[in-house]
Amino acid sequence: VYDETIPHFLRMLTNLSSWLDQAQTYADERGFDADRLVVARLSPDQFELARQIQSATDTAKFCATRLSGETPPNWADDETTLAALRERVATAIAYLETVTPEQLAEGATAKVSPGFLQGAWFHGVDYVRGFALPNFYFHVTTAYSILRANGVPLGKRTFIGQVPVQPPE
């Protein structure tokens, strides 16, 4: 399950980092405080940008540790500035880069029982495909849409980012 998860978390978090860079540039150009974006949200009862980014990075982190059995690093969820959110993403990228295919070698058949399931559990592969990936993409997409709805000029191509294509033959 390494190939289904970690490289894609890394690619999308790298994209997310570039959107935050563009948000800073946009704020500078327009002359507003970029940190105002940290509390922006799409709906009054939906999480703000900070929590979307915390959730995306946590989903990737917990996916790695629940499949490997390692202890997850603790991240404080105390970001109040755009710079701190960029640092949060950088921390998550650095952590995921330490995760090896060997650590997830038994991940597909791991028994994964997040606390919110109250004793129920996933086969590792079901957890990846039925929960971790949808949840990760949900939060990354919502972070993207919050920035875009606030005027940051992000094209759709920016969302997908670099794709692993082969050159024309």
> Nearest distance from residue 160's CB to its own copies, in Å?
6
Give the whole-angstrom CA distance, residue 14 versus residue 142.
Answer: 16
Q: Is 108 a residue that touches its own copies (CB under 8 A)? A: no
Minimum CB–partner distance for residue 55 and its own copies (Å): 10
Question: Binding its own copies by CB under 8 A: which of 29, 31, 78, 168?
Answer: 168
Residues touching its own copies: how many (CB under 8 A)?
42
**Measured between alpha carbons, how far is 33 from 10 in angstroms, rounded to an integer?**
28
| Binder of its own copies out of 18, 75, 133, 158 (CB under 8 A) | 133
Nearer to its own copies, 52 or 68 (CB): 52
Applying CB under 8 A, among 35, 93, 123, 158 the residue interacting with its own copies is 123
Q: How far apart are CA 23 and CA 34, in angstroms?
A: 7
**DSSP-based three-state secondary structure for 72:** coil
Site for its own copies in 31-50 (CB under 8 A): 42-43, 45-46
148 near its own copies, rule: CB under 8 A: yes
CA angle in degrees (0–180, nearest 5) for 163-156-98:
45
84-113: burial string, b at 16+ Cβ within 10 Å, e else: ebbebbeebbebbeebeeebbeebbebebe
User: CA triplet 6, 17, 99: central angle to 5 degrees?
Assistant: 25
Positions that interact with its own copies (CB under 8 A): 3-4, 7-8, 11-12, 42-43, 45-46, 117-123, 125-126, 129-131, 133-135, 137-138, 141-142, 145, 148-149, 156, 159-160, 163-169
